[in-house]
Amino acid sequence: MEFEATIILSAQSYDEPIISALNNIETNNISLSLSQISGLKDEKSSPFLLGETEFGYGNTYSKDSNSFYIADFVEDFQINVSTQSQYVIIYFDTANWNYPQSVTVGTTQYSPKSPALVIDMSEFGGTTTITMSNWKKPLPFIRIEGISNFRNFEIGNGEITNINFTGSSRSDYLLPSWGVVSNSGSIRIKDKYRILESLQRIGVDAAPEISLKYLVRPNSYTVHPVIFGIFWIEDFTPQYSSDHTCSLNFTDRLSEWRSMSIPSFEISDLPETSTIIDILSQIYEIAYEIDENYVGFGLDDSLTILSDDVTLEKVHWEKGSLWNVLAQICDGLGLYIYRTANSQTATITTERGE
């Protein structure tokens, strides 16, 4: 059983190659301009096509060697990148632990601390030159293990060592427990280049979503990635172990409700037909006005039945978090709210009738 994960860093879509040119061929002693390379297949593709991109004296970039050498080393190594890309990662020489200690992108100066550099290209306009210099080890050659670009950070099956999450629908399985339940989990991945740390350092979306998928293979020729959970990395703080694996914690995002403040609210003289559903709908709208991207909630069918019996005369609550407001209603009416792993919204339901 194979699994994949995607850390969703950008909602934008694109369909063109990202790194469009590496045009100072003479300086870099690269015999084939990247502008001649087209057909990047997806956002994971390297701008260097395996076996086709030639460097130096005709060496091709090969996945087997997983590197290319730039002979006749010159101090500055430059590439040009179009800003269609959100992020560019340059992988340096891990065998020799050699990397440039100074990287200039446009007018911005970076000082890499590890053999990979993540650059947020969205800060730059047009085509931008990346200049790498002051190499840590002045070897007679430099080696770059790869350059990739991405909008969303893909994590392949081979890089995932562990996934776990809880999917509770209530806080207590043995006793009636009402209210809002937020679930969480974690994923551990191999990240010897410390890409996630670099992403954190350059300040990617502080709380990106992560989608977890597993691969369904109806036959040996077909693979369907199926999303079985979309979670929220509330605190994007990669935790590394000595084996170069990195752990990320995620939640189902309902915890966001704790910090979402709802103003005080009162409905008096409700029509006789007012039901809990009417009230919940109003809460939904209030929260939507505050943040249209908040995780909303849907109503289970059984709630409609409950609504027949529960007629509200007056509703009032003090200013508080959306979590607390909903929890109070849940307590009063015997409801509970949870979010299933692959749902974008929460479900409000009741155990009545069972």
**Segment near another protein (CB under 8 A); pick from 15-23, 30-38, 196-204, 341-349:** 341-349
Q: Does 352 bind another protein (CB under 8 A)?
A: yes
CA distance 321 to 290: 12
148-187 positions binding another protein, by CB under 8 A: 160-170, 173-178, 185
Minimum CB distance to another protein smaller for 295 or for 333: 333
CB of 197 to another protein, least distance (A): 23
C-alpha–C-alpha distance, residues 353 and 335, integer Å: 13
Residues in the chain: 354
Candidate segments 81-89, 111-119, 129-137, 315-323, binder of another protein by CB under 8 A: 315-323
Task: Compute CA distances 129 → 27, 71, 174, 296, whole Å.
Answer: 13, 21, 62, 43
Shortest separation between residue 42's beta carbon and another protein, angstroms: 20
- Spatial contact of 18 and 82, defined as CB atoms under 8 Å apart: yes
Given candidates 8, 260, 286, 310, which one binds another protein under the rule CB under 8 A? 310
Name the region of 199 (left: φ>0; alpha: ψ -120 to 50; beta: rest): alpha
Which residue in 232, 203, 211 sits closest to 293, CA to CA?
232
Positions 216 through 275 that interact with another protein (CB under 8 A): 216-218, 224, 226, 228-229
Provide the minimum distance between the beta carbon of 116 and another protein in the complex, in angstroms, as a whole number: 26
* Amino acid identity at 111: S
Buried b vs exposed e over 58-82: b needs ≥16 C-beta within 10 Å? Answer: ebbbeeeeebbbbeebeeebbbbbb
Q: Which stretch binds another protein (CB under 8 A): 191-199, 232-240, 280-288, 339-347?
A: 339-347
**Measured from the CB atom, is 113 or 224 closer to another protein?**
224
- Return all residues near 328 (Cβ < 8 A) that are at least 6 apart: 317
146: alpha, beta or left, given left = phi > 0 and alpha = psi -120 to 50?
Answer: left
Total residues in contact with another protein, by rule CB under 8 A: 58
333 touches another protein by CB under 8 A: yes
Task: Map residue 293 onto helix, strand or coil.
Answer: coil
Q: Is 337 in the site for another protein (CB under 8 A)?
A: no
Residues that bind another protein (CB under 8 A): 1, 3, 160-170, 173-178, 185, 214, 216-218, 224, 226, 228-229, 276, 302, 305-306, 309-317, 328-329, 331-334, 338, 340-342, 347, 349-354
